[in-house]
Amino acid sequence: MSVTKEKKAELISSFKTTEKDNGGSAASQVAVLTERIRNLTEHMKANPKDEHSKRGLLFMVNRRKKLLAYIKKNSTEEYEALIKKLGLRK
């Protein structure tokens, strides 16, 4: 259900904004959150009565929403590229 260290490192390396970025940039945080949201969504399909996981899922979705709003406010081009690469907002 959680993201493995290898998968997280792979996501951070593919979405980092600078050479020294170790996962702190908004884009890499959004990428990791998106992977966690996808995993938890699959869990929720199998376990619809799991209220604790649902709460965590809602917190992750809201956090990603805030980070995406921050990226959109600062750089519209980066925002467009990020949502296209992650497959968000079809």
Residues 27-84: tens digit of each pLDDT: 999 999 999 999 999 999 999 999 999 999 999 999 999 999 999 999 999 999 999 9
> What CA–CA distance (Å, rounded) separates 43 from 24?
27
Long-range contacts for 69-76 (Cβ within 8 Å, ≥24 apart)?
Answer: 70/26, 71/26, 71/27, 71/30
pLDDT at position 6 over 90: yes
Instruction: Say which CATH class 5-86 falls into.
Output: mainly alpha
Say if CB 3 and CB 35 are below 8 A apart. yes
Note the helical H segments in 1-90: 5-15, 26-46, 51-74, 76-86
Residue spans per domain, the chain: 5-86
Question: Higher model confidence: residue 63 or residue 2?
Answer: 63
pLDDT for residue 1:
61
pLDDT for residue 90:
59
